[in-house]
Every structure is written in structure tokens, then in C-alpha cells.
Amino acid sequence: MDIRITPAALCGCVTAPPSKSAAHRAFICAALADGESRIKTDGMSEDTAATVRCLEAAGAVISRRDGAVNVAPIKNPPSKAVFDCGESGSTLRFMLPVAAALGIEAEFTGGGKLPERPIEPLLEAMRTHGVSVGSGFPIKISGRLTPGRYEIAGNVSSQFITGLLLALPLCQDKSELKILPPVESKPYIDITISVLEKFGASLVKNEDGFIVYPSRFHAADLTVEGDWSNAAFWLACGAGVRGLDADSAQGDKRIIEILKCFGAKITEDNGCIRASMENVHSADIDAADIPDLVPIISVIASAARGKTVIYNASRLRLKESDRLKTTAAMINSLGGSARETGDGLVIEGSGGLRGGEVDGGGDHRIVMSAAAASVFCDSEVVIRGAQAVAKSYPDFFEKFNRLGGKANVMQLR
């Protein structure tokens, strides 16, 4: 799907979509619980649908009823199963150790960039704890995950840590999970702990990681909180967002602090948060704990005046696209000035953008950032491959137009 956008100001207020991060974790914990859980969530992205599909393959019964997702837990996991993860790195990294802890002989498949995304540190941790892992992709595993002492690097993907934290309570004895510093994207680990505690898991944080005790998860009735990461696109282009929790464990709530660093004025009226983007200036941003915000921060930097440096973002090269490269290409295609560094971007803001054609690169965050950038453009923006938004925000363009945007589908591919 290609989209043509005529620049227009956005106004009004939109409800934040459900947090993809929280939803993945809630569905998995519910599928491992001792009874039926009810997860209230407004819609589902392709990524969370992939996790639901894998949980059903493992034996959970999941249905929509009365505005919620009802999860009847896994009672008798199959001896063998195929898990189709789509393009979801979260699904793959979470479900691998969970399937191993359940003793399922499993084959994990997927498409897009998924086969290229880092996974070896997690597989090695599983190999040393009772699991046989085949070579190549699709990934084939057999055996059962055993308790013990685990060590895993904290600077490759926090999702490896989350996957183990979700799986280790299913083991028959306690485990120690040591996280080797530096630890990046720590807020995503905090989200995992928050969800695990809601379902009754027993674990203790220590100086260098966690002690995880055998636990039977308890059924829960909960609402998936609003997503700060996707709300950032609206806040950056002047629209209001409601349904966000200022006390959330989500690291991307830092978008408010970042907007203030750029000089934006933040207001809140009846639960609707918005930012005034007039007269914004440059700022230097440490992206170690907020990698998903880098594309939209780059748009803000282009609309500002002066040089912005974004650093500690090298892991973005391992996302759905090489996100440092595709972000720089997006900004430059729209008439801005962005260049890559070893671990980030340098953006020379000129107060606005010209407009132009952007290759979405198969990356939902690049597509949404390019759409947000249209607000700061003088002429139209064309986005190729705009269907990538379905990965995390399927109705993004519907909401965009509802807020006053002028996005029209050029062609379906």
C-alpha cells in the first residue's frame, strides 16, 4: 500500500492504542495460568496476533467476547507444534523458552527480517539448560528447559531476558538469571516484572539479575494500558492523546521529557495530553533505553533549529530495518539533513521539511514517522510500503485522517 499525504495540521484528541509490549506479556502469562483470564484490549496488531497464534498452537484457547480477549490456559501442551511468529521478534524470543519449558518439540517459523534478527545468545542459554537446538532457520528445538544458573548479556536484546523470566517459573526448581552489564532497554524488563507480578509469579531482584522461583501463574482480569511508544507519533505532530499512564513502567513515556528538552510546551486537559511544537530547538538525546522513539525524535529534530545528536542507538541496526539507515534516508528524502554515526544520528534541523517520497523499508516506525513528518512539510509526502503500520498500529492512517490529516491510498500492492 502506497500513501500520498497532503500536509495539514492535526487537531483533536485520540485514545492511545494498547501497549504491544504489555499485551504480549499478558497473553503469555494468561496462557500459563491456573484458570481463564480476561484481557481487555482495544484491538490487536499483527505482532500481538502472532503471539496469540503461537499460544493457541501450544494448547491455549483464546477468543474475543464482550470487548475483551478471553484466555483459557494451556492444560495439555502438544508433544510437537509449529509456531508461526510472523515478523514478530518479541513473539519468537518470548515463545522459544516458554515452549522449551513446556517440553514441546517445536519448530519456529517467520518471515520478513525475522530470520536475520539476533537470537543466538538466547539459544545458547537454552542449549546449556536441557534444550537441543537445530541449526539455521526455521529454528527447531527439543528437550525441556531445566532450572539453574543462567547468564545473558544485557546489551543485545532485553527480549532474551523477558523470554527467560516468562519461562523459568515453569521449571521445577529455582533459577538464577544473571544479566551481564551494560543493561539497555531496562524499562522493557520492568514491564515484564510488572505483568508477572499481576499473575502471581515469584521472583526476587538481586544485585546482578533475578532469582526466579517455581510458580503457578494465577488467572487475572486486567486492561492493557495505553502505548507511549505509538502515542509519541501523535504528540510530536501536535495532536492530543488520552489513555496514557504517567506511572507506567514503559520507558517510552520519556517522550514527554524529550519534547520538553526540544522546547515543546506540554499541556493536559481532561486527560488529553498534547505538545505545542512552535519554536522548538535542538537537543542531544541518549537513546539507550528508548530505541523505538528514535525515528520520531529524528522528525522532531528536523522540525527544530540547530544540530541534534542521538547516541547509544546502535541496536537499531537490528530491528525490522537497519533503523539508523532508514531513519536517515527518510529525513533526507523529505529535504532534511541527517547522517549516521557509529551508534546514532546527527540531524541538522532547519525548522521544517520540504516533502518528498519515502521508502517505508518494511518498518512500521519509519512509515508512521514519515506520516508525522508531513505536518512539518511544505509539499506532499508519498510513503511507499505503508502497509507496514499493521505490525503495531493497524488503524494508524484511519486515526490520522480523523485528526485532520489528508492521507490517501495511491495503490494496493
Asked whether the beta carbons of 139 and 93 are under 8 A apart, the reply is no
Q: Are strands 240-242 and 221-223 parallel, antiparallel or unpaired?
A: unpaired
pLDDT in tens, 6-28: 999 999 999 999 999 999 999 99
Q: What is the structure's pLDDT at 66?
A: 80
Output the 3-class SS for 269-296: ECCEEEEECCCCECCCEECCCCHHHHHH
Superfamily of segment(s) 2-17+226-411: Enolpyruvate transferase domain (3.65.10.10)
pLDDT in tens, 190-229: 999 999 999 999 999 999 999 999 998 999 999 999 999 9
Nearest residue to 29 (alpha-carbon basis) of 251, 225, 202: 202
Coil, helix or strand at residue 231? helix
Q: What is the structure's pLDDT at 43?
A: 84
Asked whether the beta carbons of 156 and 317 are under 8 A apart, the reply is no
Q: What is the mean pLDDT of residues 161-170?
A: 98
Average pLDDT, the chain: 95
Q: What is the structure's pLDDT at 411?
A: 66
Axis crossing angle, helix 89-101 with helix 20-31, rounded to the nearest 10? 20
- Cβ burial 140-170 (10 Å sphere, 16+ → b, else e): bbbbbbbbeebebebbbbbbbbbbbbbbbbb
- Same CATH topology for 2-17+226-411 and 20-222? yes
What element of type H or E holds 357? strand 356-359
Say if pTM beats, i.e. exceeds, 0.85: yes
Q: Are strands 240-242 and 13-15 parallel, antiparallel or unpaired?
A: parallel
The CATH T-level fold of domain 20-222 is UDP-n-acetylglucosamine1-carboxyvinyl-transferase; Chain (3.65.10)
On the question of pLDDT at 128 being above 90, the answer is yes
Which active-site residues does the annotation give? 292
Q: What is the mean pLDDT of residues 61-90?
A: 95
The domain locations on the chain are 2-17+226-411, 20-222
Which band of pLDDT confidence, cut at 50, 70 and 90, is reported for residue 413?
low
